[in-house]
Structure 1
Amino acid sequence: MPNATFSYVKYPDSFRATLIQLTNEAYNTFLSAHSNMNEIQLNMQQIPGHVKTALKLLATAPFPLLEKLLPLSLNNIERIGMECSNLSSITHNKFADVQLLIE
């Protein structure tokens, strides 16, 4: 393709360099995905404990204690959800970058 331009390929004239670039990008993306998914799994394992705590508070705690402690449990659940969402977005974007390199 003599008139084509490659936005993401660093050395479009070298097949070998392009192949190495693609391999490195794919490797780094899969490594990052593995790490991020592991972190998501560890975070998600904490959710049942926070839900159980919130349910115990709702069932047994007096109102003043409930006002102080329930927001902590709910905020932890929200924080974990936001962290997991952020990690999955990062992973998605890295795979999208590799896809752009391939195209």
Structure 2
Amino acid sequence: MPLPTLTDDDRNAAREKAILARRARSELRACLKAGTLPLAEVLRRSDKVVGRMPVRHLLTAMPGIGQVRAGRLMNSMGIAEGRRVQGLGSAQRAKLLQEFPDAV
């Protein structure tokens, strides 16, 4: 099956949409890092910005969590490496909230 042929306008529109999504995720991570946005609120959101973010990126945006600790946390909670926030189950969300209860 051949790939769809896109016009230049279609490509530009897709590029702009991707740029906006990356900016929104970047702002979300910055708010988490600064402590102005609680993890519980992020996990309650159901928009595409949060839903399509990898869980590892979400964890590394938390203050004091680096790549290694994020990997260990994901492994201990049974969260697959490539899992996105929208794919988390209720038990996994509960474990994340239990791990970070004071995350303002």
Confirm or deny a common fold (TM above 0.5). Answer: no
Q: TM-score, normalised by structure 2?
A: 0.36
Q: TM-score, normalised by structure 1?
A: 0.36
Q: RCO higher in 1 or 2 (8 Å CA, sep ≥ 6)?
A: 1
Choose 1 or 2 for highest CA Rg: 1
